[in-house]
Amino acid sequence: MPKKINKREFLKSCFLGAGAATLGLDAMESWASGLLKSDPAGPADDKLWKWSREAVFYAPTARGIKCTLCPNMCNLREGETSICRTRVVNGGKLHTIAYGNPCSVHVDPIEKKPLYHFLPGSRSYSIATAGCNFACRYCQNWEISQVSPKDTRNDDLMPQKVVEEAITGKCTTIAYTYSEPVIFYEYMYDTARIARSKGVKNLMISNGFINEKPLQMLCQHIDAANIDLKAFTDDIYSRLCGGSLNPVQNTLKILKSEQVWFEITCLIVPGWNDDMQHIALMCDWLLANGLESYPLHFSRFHPMYKLVRLPATPLTTLEKARNIALIKGMKYVYIGNVPGSGYENTVCHYCKKTLIERKGFTIISNHISGSACKFCKTKIPGVWG
């Protein structure tokens, strides 16, 4: 007969096995209990509010509490808040204030994420809280990404309720999107875990700026992702977004190793990341790491936020980038934010016939049979339902 273990031993084996050993057992037990109950834990004191939870990934240091969720590795003293605006030290512990309080809730076509090779034509229940661990100069959702959850109007929507709403809305997936889901990690993780148990799939639409252990733990409950590859030098990453390249590259490699389907988006911003030599180097790296079958989306920039004086990306620039990627050996390369261009269609990489015709986010025709090209029977990488 299997050996009986008590609750503490069970939690220890689950969380340490997942690699989340940055907390003590009491903190992990508290977090798991909150997940199972799926209701607000009362605030530690007046400095917190009902939408708070003890964070999962942090460690005490001689200079304060270090958040180990993302590569920013914020080191915070009592009362201080993280760069992403969602983590605060209270009572010597790190808390997230982005839990169960989305400021944006919509039902979207999955093509909007964009995900073109994952359940095309399906609906996705999409949520976001305020906050982000980047500071992109061109952010289209800066009103929510560059503020604290305490500065937005929020819905009271705990994980169980999110899943119920998704099912009621006949959504096949839940997308964690709009701002940056890494910063509401605990909320995403709890929701994704419940969703999986109900047959609802989970999508992470992210900048990929997350540390290895949290990502590996999350991969057990995420079905697909779209990762922004914003540039291919650290200098541009730093000046344009406030981040760095290597952690994002590592995220792509981990998603592949964990067998999570993903697609890559590169928003091309004139004068910033439109150097075709850098595009070529990026494609070389993708191929060298066996990522040639994962779709690559080159997306048009429109003047936004701090870059309103820049022009929109010329279609010719996007076409050059696409041609370089195809010549290098990427199998599926799309152009986004240019409706009607034809570059949003899925074309079989073998026989070159159009498999999925799209107009904007709408599917006009679909010639994928099972998971193969209807015309030549070549297997098409993706998740087709």
User: In whole numbers, what is the pLDDT of the chain averaged over residues?
Assistant: 90
pLDDT computed for residue 31 by the predictor: 44
- Per-residue tokens: 351: 């026989």
Contact status, residue 98 vs residue 129, Cβ threshold 8 Å? yes
CA distance 165 to 340: 33
pLDDT computed for residue 118 by the predictor: 98
Task: Find residue 175's DSSP bridge partners.
Answer: 126, 203
Summarised one tens digit per residue, pLDDT across range 146-177 is 999 999 999 999 999 999 999 999 999 999 99
pLDDT computed for residue 34 by the predictor: 42
Q: Report the candidate in 142, 28, 154, 33 with the shortest Cα–Cα distance to residue 102.
A: 154
Considering Cα of 179, then 183, then 184, then 188, what sign does the dihedral take? positive
CA 205 to chain centre: 3
Type of residue numbered 333: V
pLDDT computed for residue 246 by the predictor: 98
Summarised one tens digit per residue, pLDDT across range 256-265 is 999 999 999 9
52-90: burial string, b at 16+ Cβ within 10 Å, e else: bbbbbbbeeeeeebbbbbbbbebbbeeeebbbbbbbbbb
pLDDT computed for residue 92 by the predictor: 95
Give the H/E segment covering residue 226. Answer: strand 224-228
Please state the φ and ψ torsions of residue 335, each to the nearest 5 degrees.
-120, 125
Q: At what angle do helices 25-37 and 185-197 cross, to 10 degrees?
A: 50
pLDDT computed for residue 33 by the predictor: 38
Q: What is the mean pLDDT of residues 19-30?
A: 40
CA distance 251 to 110: 22
Read off the pTM. Answer: 0.88
Kindly indicate the confidence band of residue 47, based on its pLDDT and cuts at 50, 70 and 90. Answer: low
What is the dihedral angle through the alpha carbons of 318, 323, 328, 330, rounded to the nearest 10 degrees?
A: 70
- Per-residue tokens: 378: 């070549």
CA distance 294 to 143: 31
Residues in the chain: 385
Is the per-residue pLDDT at 20 higher than 50? no
Is the per-residue pLDDT at 10 higher than 90? no
Residue, of 279 and 35, whose pLDDT is higher: 279
pLDDT computed for residue 70 by the predictor: 98
Domains in the chain with CATH codes: 7-96 (no CATH), 104-336 (3.20.20.70), 345-385 (no CATH)
Task: Find residue 202's DSSP bridge partners.
Answer: 174
pLDDT computed for residue 100 by the predictor: 97
Contact status, residue 376 vs residue 349, Cβ threshold 8 Å? no
CA distances from 101 to 74, 97, 253 (A): 23, 9, 31
pLDDT computed for residue 385 by the predictor: 82
Q: What is the mean pLDDT of residues 278-306?
A: 98
- Per-residue tokens: 265: 């988006």
